[in-house]
């Protein structure tokens, strides 16, 4: 089962390929993605790496978290799962409209 890792404080020149190459030191990398700002096209300073197994993910965290790359100290940890239906979700709640007894 693959494990997705969050990688923070990436240097500006980091690419998907260089991120994958860095993490391949710890094992097989299923995917690596540097996140870019949609409006400016500039890197946002973080990305995600998917390792093939839990063991490889743990190894990658221990090997790469805190490592200095181009003057940036990388932060690596297991990515949090996106929340669904959180505080932004829906129009839930009680039945609006007219109260009881209105005729």
The per-type count for the chain, helices as H runs and strands as E runs, is 2, 6
Domain with 69, as residue range(s), is 3-78
- Residue 23 inside a domain? The answer is yes
pLDDT at 36: 96
- Residue 102 inside a domain? The answer is no
pLDDT at 84: 73
- Residue 91 inside a domain? The answer is no
Task: Tally the domains of the chain.
Answer: 1
- Residue 29 inside a domain? The answer is yes
- Residue 58 inside a domain? The answer is yes
Structure confidence by residue, pLDDT tens digits, 41-100 = 999 999 999 999 999 999 999 999 999 999 999 999 999 987 776 555 555 555 555 555
Determine the 3-state secondary structure of 55 from DSSP.
helix
Domain CATH code at residue 56:
3.30.70.330
User: What mean pLDDT is predicted for residues 21-43?
Assistant: 97
- Residue 99 inside a domain? The answer is no
- Integer-rounded Cα Rg, in Å, for the chain is 21
């Amino acid at each position: 089962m693959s494990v997705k890792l969050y990688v923070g404080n990436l240097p500006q020149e980091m690419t998907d390929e260089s991120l994958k190459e860095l993490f391949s030191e710890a094992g097989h990398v299923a995917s690596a993605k540097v996140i870019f700002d949609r409006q400016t096209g500039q890197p946002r300073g973080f990305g995600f790496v998917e390792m093939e197994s839990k063991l490889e993910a743990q190894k990658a965290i221990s090997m790469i978290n805190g490592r200095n790359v181009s003057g940036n100290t990388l932060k690596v940890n297991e990515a949090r799962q996106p929340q669904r239906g959180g505080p932004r979700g829906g129009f839930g709640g009680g039945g609006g409209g007219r109260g009881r007894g209105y005729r």
